[in-house]
Amino acid sequence: MTGERPLWRRPIVGFGAIALLVGLGLFLVLRGHDSAPRPVDTAHASEATIPVMRRNITAILTLDGNLEATPHFAVPASTTGRVARRRGVRPGGAVMPKRWLFAQAGARVRPQVAGTFVRWLVPNHLRVAAGVPVAEVAYGGFAVVAALPPEAAYRIFSHRLSARAQIISGPGPFGCVVLQSPTAPPLPDPHGVASGTDGPGPIIKCAVPMTIHAVQGLRALVAVASAERHHVPTLPVSAVAGSAQTGEVSLVDGDGSIHVRNVALGITDGSVVEIKRGLRVGQRVLAQPPQLNEFR
């Protein structure tokens, strides 16, 4: 059930009454009348309203990154279950997207791109949760390596990803496969080959196609599409207080009164946000969201 609180009811007054109200407001301010309700600026409330509309949304996150040669990536568990390694997979061996590395609950898990097998990250037959890195693979090309902001990491890694990248002052945009960085510390390589430099915090790696000419260390941009919603109720993000899970809006009722309404939020593309619960399509809200100091 959504909570709501009345903020204002549209008055019907003449021009003479307006002067009286202004004078009364000044009198209350001078007296320091603390118990009076906080006034809401409603000068153009009737024009500054926005309807809840159905739209298609793709959640996109744009990140700054750098090109890294022969990046290592993790092949994560696809579900919760025991890991059953495929026989014959050894360090230094070639792996392909068409050949599975391990199985879980009858499902065979394959690497996202072709590369060279580096090592197993969990013991054979260990029961692991979905998303746990199971194997480490080295990609033979380049990848755009970018750090994720903490508030976006869960959303990014909880959905099937697609991405496009652009090398600054270079080729692009082009599609690239999003890879998960291995979380376990890399083992020393007996041949002295570097295994990448994962810094602190969540990291994503976007594999640059082999046909794209790239240079180690160049700057690049990567836009990650983490989720899609079709024909869902939405509002502009500027009309909602809050950006993830829950928020508040100033709902305008049919009689002109305004209430603060709690809403459940879904994905956002940075311009509009999905309204999962709390409002119906066609309802109108103020273009400005409720303020933090408007207490219940």
> What is the spatial distance between Cα 258 and Cα 38, in angstroms, rounded to a whole number?
13
Question: Which of 213, 134, 144 lies closest to 178, judged by CA?
Answer: 144
Q: Is 188 exposed, middle or buried (0-12, 13-18, 19+ CB in 10 A)?
A: exposed
Please name which of 140, 128, 156, 139 lies closest in space to residue 223, comparing C-alpha atoms: 156
Percent of the chain with pLDDT over 90: 56
Q: What is the pLDDT of residue 154?
A: 66
pLDDT tens digits for range 113-172: 999 999 999 999 999 999 899 999 999 999 999 988 776 766 666 666 789 999 999 998
Please indicate, yes or no, whether the overall pTM of this predicted structure exceeds 0.75: no
Full set of structural domains in the chain with CATH: 4-57+231-286 (2.40.420.20), 60-227 (2.40.50.100)
Q: What tens digit of pLDDT does each residue of 179-194 get? A: 988 754 444 444 444 4
CA–CA gap between residue 275 and residue 106 (Å, rounded): 37
Cβ(221)–Cβ(164) below 8 Å: no
Predicted confidence (pLDDT) at residue 197 exceeds the cutoff of 60: no
